[in-house]
Protein backbone atom coordinates (compact mmCIF):
# COMPACT_ATOMS: atom_id res chain seq x y z
CA UNK A 1 0.00 0.00 0.00
CA UNK A 2 2.97 2.27 0.26
CA UNK A 3 3.12 2.97 3.99
CA UNK A 4 1.36 5.25 6.44
CA UNK A 5 1.77 8.41 4.35
CA UNK A 6 0.74 6.94 1.01
CA UNK A 7 -2.41 7.57 -0.99
CA UNK A 8 -3.38 3.91 -0.55
CA UNK A 9 -3.20 4.19 3.25
CA UNK A 10 -5.29 7.37 3.20
CA UNK A 11 -7.91 5.64 1.04
CA UNK A 12 -7.94 2.58 3.30
CA UNK A 13 -8.37 4.75 6.40
CA UNK A 14 -11.12 6.80 4.75
CA UNK A 15 -13.06 3.72 3.60
CA UNK A 16 -12.65 2.01 6.98
CA UNK A 17 -14.05 5.04 8.81
CA UNK A 18 -16.87 5.32 6.28
CA UNK A 19 -17.78 1.63 6.72
CA UNK A 20 -17.62 1.93 10.52
CA UNK A 21 -19.96 4.93 10.51
CA UNK A 22 -22.33 3.14 8.12
CA UNK A 23 -22.49 0.11 10.44
CA UNK A 24 -23.15 1.99 13.69
CA UNK A 25 -26.91 2.49 13.07
CA UNK A 26 -27.20 -1.30 12.71
CA UNK A 27 -25.19 -2.12 15.84
CA UNK A 28 -28.09 -3.79 17.66
CA UNK A 29 -28.87 -6.07 14.71
CA UNK A 30 -25.20 -7.02 14.31
CA UNK A 31 -24.79 -7.62 18.04
CA UNK A 32 -27.89 -9.82 18.10
CA UNK A 33 -26.50 -11.82 15.19
CA UNK A 34 -23.22 -12.33 17.05
CA UNK A 35 -25.19 -13.30 20.19
CA UNK A 36 -26.64 -16.23 18.21
CA UNK A 37 -23.10 -17.55 17.77
CA UNK A 38 -22.14 -17.61 21.46
CA UNK A 39 -22.90 -21.33 21.86
CA UNK A 40 -20.97 -22.45 18.76
CA UNK A 41 -17.73 -23.15 20.59
CA UNK A 42 -15.77 -20.96 18.18
CA UNK A 43 -12.83 -19.34 20.01
CA UNK A 44 -13.87 -15.77 19.14
CA UNK A 45 -17.28 -16.09 20.84
CA UNK A 46 -16.80 -16.42 24.59
CA UNK A 47 -19.98 -15.43 26.36
CA UNK A 48 -21.47 -12.11 27.30
CA UNK A 49 -18.03 -10.49 27.54
CA UNK A 50 -17.83 -10.81 23.76
CA UNK A 51 -21.14 -8.97 23.40
CA UNK A 52 -20.11 -6.24 25.84
CA UNK A 53 -16.80 -5.61 24.04
CA UNK A 54 -18.50 -5.61 20.63
CA UNK A 55 -21.05 -3.05 21.82
CA UNK A 56 -18.22 -0.88 23.21
CA UNK A 57 -16.38 -1.03 19.88
CA UNK A 58 -19.32 0.59 18.11
CA UNK A 59 -18.81 3.67 20.35
CA UNK A 60 -22.56 4.30 20.41
CA UNK A 61 -22.26 7.01 23.07
CA UNK A 62 -20.07 9.15 20.82
CA UNK A 63 -21.05 11.64 18.17
CA UNK A 64 -20.39 10.62 14.58
CA UNK A 65 -17.41 12.97 14.42
CA UNK A 66 -15.89 11.56 17.61
CA UNK A 67 -16.51 7.99 16.46
CA UNK A 68 -14.77 8.77 13.16
CA UNK A 69 -11.77 10.10 15.08
CA UNK A 70 -11.76 6.98 17.23
CA UNK A 71 -11.73 4.70 14.19
CA UNK A 72 -8.93 6.73 12.58
CA UNK A 73 -6.86 6.14 15.70
CA UNK A 74 -7.72 2.41 15.63
CA UNK A 75 -6.40 2.18 12.07
CA UNK A 76 -3.27 4.12 12.99
CA UNK A 77 -2.61 2.00 16.10
CA UNK A 78 -3.16 -1.30 14.28
CA UNK A 79 -0.82 -0.45 11.41
CA UNK A 80 2.11 -2.86 11.68
CA UNK A 81 1.17 -3.71 15.27
CA UNK A 82 2.77 -7.03 16.20
CA UNK A 83 -0.23 -8.09 18.32
CA UNK A 84 -2.66 -7.36 15.44
CA UNK A 85 -0.56 -9.41 13.05
CA UNK A 86 -0.29 -12.30 15.53
CA UNK A 87 -4.05 -12.25 16.21
CA UNK A 88 -4.82 -12.28 12.48
CA UNK A 89 -2.61 -15.34 12.08
CA UNK A 90 -4.30 -17.03 15.06
CA UNK A 91 -7.71 -16.41 13.47
CA UNK A 92 -6.55 -17.73 10.12
CA UNK A 93 -5.16 -20.94 11.64
CA UNK A 94 -8.13 -21.39 14.02
CA UNK A 95 -10.70 -21.08 11.25
CA UNK A 96 -8.86 -23.19 8.67
CA UNK A 97 -10.66 -26.40 9.71
CA UNK A 98 -14.08 -24.75 9.53
CA UNK A 99 -14.02 -23.30 6.00
CA UNK A 100 -11.81 -23.86 2.99
CA UNK A 101 -9.39 -20.92 2.54
CA UNK A 102 -11.14 -19.64 -0.57
CA UNK A 103 -14.38 -19.16 1.39
CA UNK A 104 -13.00 -17.37 4.48
CA UNK A 105 -14.74 -14.14 5.19
CA UNK A 106 -13.91 -12.10 8.25
CA UNK A 107 -15.11 -8.82 9.61
CA UNK A 108 -12.83 -7.89 12.47
CA UNK A 109 -13.35 -4.95 14.80
CA UNK A 110 -10.29 -5.85 16.85
CA UNK A 111 -7.75 -5.39 14.10
CA UNK A 112 -7.73 -3.03 11.15
CA UNK A 113 -4.36 -4.10 9.79
CA UNK A 114 -2.92 -2.81 6.56
CA UNK A 115 -2.78 -5.28 3.68
CA UNK A 116 -1.06 -5.21 0.31
CA UNK A 117 -4.32 -5.35 -1.67
CA UNK A 118 -6.81 -2.61 -0.67
CA UNK A 119 -9.42 -3.97 -3.10
CA UNK A 120 -9.89 -6.90 -0.70
CA UNK A 121 -11.84 -4.42 1.43
CA UNK A 122 -14.46 -3.83 -1.27
CA UNK A 123 -17.86 -3.41 0.39
CA UNK A 124 -16.25 -3.62 3.84
CA UNK A 125 -15.51 -7.34 3.58
CA UNK A 126 -12.08 -8.90 3.96
CA UNK A 127 -11.27 -12.12 2.16
CA UNK A 128 -8.32 -13.92 3.72
CA UNK A 129 -6.34 -16.29 1.57
Rounded CA gap, 112 and 68, in Å?
14
Give the chain's domain count. Answer: 1
Residue 2 domain flag: no
56-63 long-range CB contacts below 8 Å, 24 or more apart?
57/109, 57/110, 58/23, 58/24, 58/27, 58/31, 59/24, 60/24, 60/27
In a domain, 72, yes or no: yes
Question: pLDDT digit string (tens) for 11-41?
Answer: 989 999 999 999 999 999 999 999 998 988 8
Residue that wins the pLDDT comparison between 52 and 119: 52
- Range of 21's domain? 7-127
Q: Is residue 1 part of a domain?
A: no
pTM of the full predicted structure?
0.62
Is residue 24 a part of any domain in this protein? yes
80-124: pLDDT as tens digits: 676 766 777 777 777 766 655 444 444 444 444 444 333 343 344
Assess contact for 76 and 91: CB atoms under 8 A.
Answer: no
Amino acid sequence: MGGRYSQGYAMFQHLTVKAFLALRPYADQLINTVRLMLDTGLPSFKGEGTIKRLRERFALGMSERSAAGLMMSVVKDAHENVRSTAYDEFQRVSLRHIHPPDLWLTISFSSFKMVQHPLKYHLGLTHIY
